[in-house]
Amino acid sequence: MTNVFTLLGEARAHVNIFKPVRLHGRTERHYKNVYDAFVRGALSLETAPSRAAAVAWRSAIRHGALRQLAAATEALEAALEVGDRAGGDAAAFEVERCLELLHRFPAIRPGRRPRPSDSRASHWVGQGITCA
């Protein structure tokens, strides 16, 4: 097992940076169902009916893992404050499991276009006009 304080620092950083968005209604139920099915082993990204479904499932898994990580981090902090060794070990195991899920399913972000070195000139590119 890794150092508990290192684990807590990494978990707290993930929770503070990647806050799960507030979901409502059908989306919230769908995300919860997908995450629960994945944790039970009833769902695999390889069996997704389409690429769009796999991306949605990946997002649901990350969202569920972030929510679980936030709760597990709070439990670990509470156990450390009280000095509860058994509770701390259980919470640390849950934190490690959630962090492993987050590392296994990184956030997919679209790549950014490279920015031109001169932002004023970029407006006129291709129009035959130069900036003075």
Q: What are the pLDDT digits (tens) for 21-62?
A: 677 778 888 888 888 888 888 888 888 888 888 888 888 888
Residue 4, CB-side half-sphere exposure with 13 Å CA sphere:
21
**Is a pLDDT exceeding 70 seen at residue 132?**
no
> 55-71 burial by CB neighbour count: b if 16+ within 10 A, else e?
ebbbbbbbbbbbbbbbe
Query: Which residue in this structure is represented by tokens 């490279």?
Result: 114
pLDDT at 93: 92
| CA dist., res. 12 & res. 24, Å (int) | 25
Let me know if residue 97 belongs to a domain.
yes
| CA dist., res. 65 & res. 19, Å (int) | 11
Mean pLDDT score, 2-10 = 81
* Total tally of structural domains belonging to the chain: 1
Q: Indicate whether this model's pTM tops 0.75.
A: no
Which residue range forms the structural domain that includes residue 25? 4-109
Let me know if residue 100 belongs to a domain.
yes
Angle at 56 between CA 55 and CA 60, to 5 degrees: 115
**Is a pLDDT exceeding 80 seen at residue 76?**
yes
Let me know if residue 119 belongs to a domain.
no
